[in-house]
A and B are shown apart, each in its own frame.
Chain A
Amino acid sequence: MTLAFVGGTHRTVPLQVRERLAFSAEQAAEALRRFRDRFPGREAVLLSTCNRVELYAAGEEAATPPPAEQLVSFLAECRGIDAAELAPLLARESDEAVVRHLFSVASGLDSMVLGEPQIVAQVKQAWALAQRTETTGPLTGGMFQAALRTAKRVASETAIGRERLSIPSVAVSDFARGVFETFADKRVLVIGAGKMAHETLRYLREAGATDIVVVNRTADRADRLAARLGGRPGRFADLAAELTAADLVVSTTGAGEPVVTAGLFARAEAGRAGRPLVVLDLAVPRDFEATIAGRPGVWLYTIDDLGAACDANRKRRQRELPAAVGIVDLHHRSTAPVIARLRAGWTETGDAELERLFRRLPGLDAAAQAEIRQAFERYAAKMLHSPLTSLRNESHSGPPHGLLDALKRLFDLKD
């Protein structure tokens, strides 16, 4: 075994345990230093996000990675959790299964939200942290770099991470952005204090919106809300005038009847001078009377419209899954650790030569054969020692692509 993995995700580890198991950056660095001291010569990378904690370990020759149970105990010890409590919750993998798992993780295929893009940055950070604490080597180096390349290909060749899945992000990026080129010169009117207003405004501010007016039936509430949302309060009595001045409306009241009736909107529309108006009616029941959606220049989206677009996007992501898995499989097959293949090549050649030798010398007894076999193995290990040491040293400062390529060519290691 050259690669080992233990880890838990949102699927297997309850939130209460994940909270205790999660590592901050400092705690992860400390854990890796402890790993280095306890398991000298082995490589390790610790990936800790809000949805997963995973420890990747690698080693070769005499320094094979620690068994899975030791890794579980190590994680438990680092976070002060009872190993017996943790053991049944964590998954374990070895060798090629580890590579495949990491490729899936980095590509977002193992994420809670399929294809979410943040995981790539988190994998990069985990790798960088391991490099700084000097627990990386040629095995983890090759594996993580290949995982990041796979994630890049999955992102560029499939739409798995592109379609937006939250209602505020779809409302702003897929619809409001289709109408307006910029939000910097647009007036955003927020009606009500619904939960989704805050999240929608976050997206709008990221898109450049600065002119935000908040109106609420209760003036005090409007003041507080405006302060919280970074806008200025408006008077509910001036709603028609505010609608006239607005370019984009986010409406999230809890009213039982439409807040903006066709009559009120007609008064507001008269002064708009043909400017388009985007309305994100996120309230249930709706705040805008349904007939307003048919007015020219009005782009009105209800929570159901946006929900349907989110569902369509989710289906599109699911449709991209086979293509993404195909890329992961392809990379997995082509990047199985070079060292393992190198070692296997030497072992196979040695075994073939030994068999031929033993056939030509039938008088050798079992002890002599064992002695000769050990001599062959020592010889192979010594011959491989220098290139592997060079690889290990080189990989501390980054993935040794040049050396790996050279080894592949020199020893004819097929992908």
Chain B
Amino acid sequence: MTAFISGISVVCFAASYLVALVCEASRPLFRSGVRGATLLAFAAAGFVAHTLFLGWRAATEPAVPLSSAFDWYLLAAWVLAGGYVWLMLANPRTQVGLFLLPVVLGLIGAAELSSRAPFPQSPATQVWGAVHGSFNLAASVAVAGGAVAGLMWLIQAARLAGKRAPAQGLRLPSLELLAATVSRAAHFAAWTAAAGFFSGLVLNAVNRRRGLLETVPWDDPVVLRMGALVAWLVVAAGLGRALVTRPDGARRAAWLSLVSFVVLTASILWGVLGPTRHGVPPVPTPSASSTTQLQEAAP
């Protein structure tokens, strides 16, 4: 059993999600009596493999469980994939996967491009690190979920405005449900991103006070981009709330959710490709090393 679990790779569950996505994409093209079961089987198999993979990494990595950028993206993908499987079971005729699975696969792709080395963390700041990472994860998932709902709102609205009956195999949730999802996701994303950002500031302040090497400069690009992201998400949530009472408020909120997703994606790409000290293992200089050791040893 151990050999089986340790043999699971990213390709296993990514391929399962890809097959599920192909099945979803084929829904409007032709009808099939076995596609629903095939789709669910591959999505569920991918999710189980994904879970086992993360569980194996959490159990076997010597550092804090799931504390690398690689793990972080895979966790975000795992939450969205779990949501997709749940939606498939709850409402199999609604075609959410066509919109959600590309995001899941995109996050898996981002994971593959990211470092598997754990974020440097001293025992003293592990809790703050976990809080920071968890809030950022929740915010990212909420932004992605909100954008998926927003995109579906726009497609559904275009169909209703064009006075067309639902296309074969493309049955979307109602505008009412999608608008509510967009609004809740925007608020949740703003709160959790803000909490993630401020917990990151606290984490960095603690690191700085203790003179730890993983301290990130206050003007590091990651601080700036996360600050900008949080500011945008708070503004977007506020705008969304203000627009609720306008006749075209739902449409604008849907567009805002897509913009939030673009901002998040740009922020992630910047994090993956751009220069930063965030999450980079410290390279101790002789003087810094001795200072750190003294600080760590201090009562």
Contact = CB atoms under 8 A, between A and B. Distances in A.
Most chain A CB neighbours (cut-off 10 Å) among B31, B176, B249, B250: B176
Interface stretch (A96-104, A126-134, A156-164): A156-164
Given A178-B156, A178-B159, A181-B174, A309 B246 contact: no
A305 B163 CA distance: 6
B298 interface: no
A163 B166 CA distance: 9
Interface string A162-197: 011000001000110111111000000000000000
Interface in B178-216: none
A156 B247 contact: no
Contacts of A301: 163
A296 B245 CA distance: 12
A316 B168 contact: yes
Contacts of B32: 157
Most chain B CB neighbours (cut-off 10 Å) among A274, A299, A316: A274
B168 A159 contact: yes
B165 A170 contact: yes
Contacts of A297: 247-248, 250
B244 A181 contact: no
B37 to A, nearest CB: 11
Contacts of A180: 174-176
A295 interface: yes
Contact of A179 (B166, B175, B243, B246): B175
A272 B249 CA distance: 12
A286 to B, nearest CB: 14
Band of interface residues on B? 20 to 34
Contacts of B172: 178
Nearest to A316: B168
Nearest to A164: B165
Contacts of A175: 160, 163
Given A308-B163, A309-B165, A159 B31 contact: yes
Contacts of B249: 274
Contact of A309 (B31, B156, B164): B164
A274 B248 CA distance: 7
B161 interface: yes
Nearest to B32: A157
A299 B160 contact: yes
Interface in B236-269: 243-251
Contacts of A158: 31
Contacts of B113: none
Interface in A27-41: none
B159 to A, nearest CB: 7
A158 B156 CA distance: 23
Given A276-B176, A299-B161, A323-B31, 18 more contacts: A156-B31, A157-B32, A159-B168, A163-B165, A174-B166, A178-B159, A179-B160, A181-B173, A273-B244, A273-B245, A274-B244, A274-B246, A276-B247, A297-B247, A298-B247, A305-B163, A308-B163, A313-B165
29 contacts: A156-B31, A157-B31, A157-B33, A159-B31, A159-B168, A174-B165, A175-B160, A177-B174, A178-B159, A178-B160, A178-B172, A178-B174, A178-B175, A179-B174, A179-B176, A180-B174, A181-B176, A181-B177, A269-B247, A273-B245, A274-B246, A274-B247, A274-B249, A274-B250, A276-B176, A296-B247, A299-B161, A309-B163, A312-B164
The 7 closest A-B pairs by CB, nearest first: A297-B247, A296-B248, A296-B247, A181-B177, A181-B174, A305-B163, A181-B176
